[in-house]
Copies of this chain bind each other. A is one copy, B any other.
Amino acid sequence: VSIVVRVNGRSVGDGPAISALDHGFLYGYGLFETMRALGGRPFLLDRHLRRLAEGADTIGLPLPAPEAFGDEVGAALTESGLDDAYVRLTVTRGVGAPGPDPSTCSRPTVVVIVKPFPRPPRRWSTEGLRAVFSDIARSDSSLLTGVKCANYLECILAKERARELGADEAIFLGTDGDLAEATAWNLFFVEAGRLCTPGAWGPILPGITRAKVIELADSLRLAWEEGAYPPERLFAADEALLTNSLYGVVPLGAVDGRPVGHTVPGPVTQALDAAYQALLEMHRRGDL
């Protein structure tokens, strides 16, 4: 099986399964989480479900009991037979009357998509990702900036634009001009041995892997800080890296064609990547 899609507890494949009156479809009223599964189990599922619940609070989305999500994700993974998989969990407001009144929606729509883990290009680990600065600013004022919701078009367009320019990713600045995040990654850089990352109070999505990498930095006795940084700091850094739930820790090699970091991957990136891979391996074996 190349892809498994389950909607409200039923396996549906890639055919029609969502009503055109689902407010997730009509208005983007929904949340999602993307995870990696290893050993047939999603990594850090509890943290993803916690973020989902926080996002649901923010946007007023009623959620089923969290156990239901674990069961559905488990059923999709079992059905796929995949050991190493991409998992996307989506919850929308559900089917309602067309028009901006979500109180007409009966019950949330729960979608789980599982497909084989998409291996990253080998050059990511040797040369690092190539990024560009997006000309779209991450809004400080939107309550949706910190929520992983289906209003995702700015990220899609920024990434498309990066591809057109021959790059892999786009890095957003905030409306204040400071470094924010990439389209589906958080950003870190290293300055004199100190790991720096844009503060979670700013216009970023607080990544699950971002939080885990900060914990790993503590374990490795690496100094770290959250802050507000102008883009020039990236080019002065000793090394830089990106994190997300699918690909873990990946070096950043260049932005707008200018090299970032003295070595790629840098020593801190290598140490964090090794520690993260060790966690993944423990999870795969069921030791975590």
Residues of chain A whose beta carbon lies under 8 Å from any beta carbon of chain B: 3, 5, 7, 12, 14-29, 32, 59-60, 86, 88, 90, 95, 97-102, 111, 113, 115, 118, 136-137, 139, 141-144, 149-157, 159-160, 175, 183-184
Contacts and interface: CB of A to CB of B under 8 A. Distances in A.
Contact of A151 (B17, B97, B152): B152
Given A25-B150, A88-B98, A141-B175, 4 more contacts: A14-B95, A27-B150, A59-B157, A137-B142
Contacts of A27: 150, 152-153, 155-156
Copies in the complex: 2
Nearest to A246: B99
A19 B14 CA distance: 6
Contacts of A23: 156
Nearest to A164: B60
Nearest to A118: B99
A18 B22 contact: yes
Contact of A115 (B98, B137, B149): B98
Given A100-B156, A137-B141, A175-B141, A21 B14 contact: yes
B19 A17 contact: yes
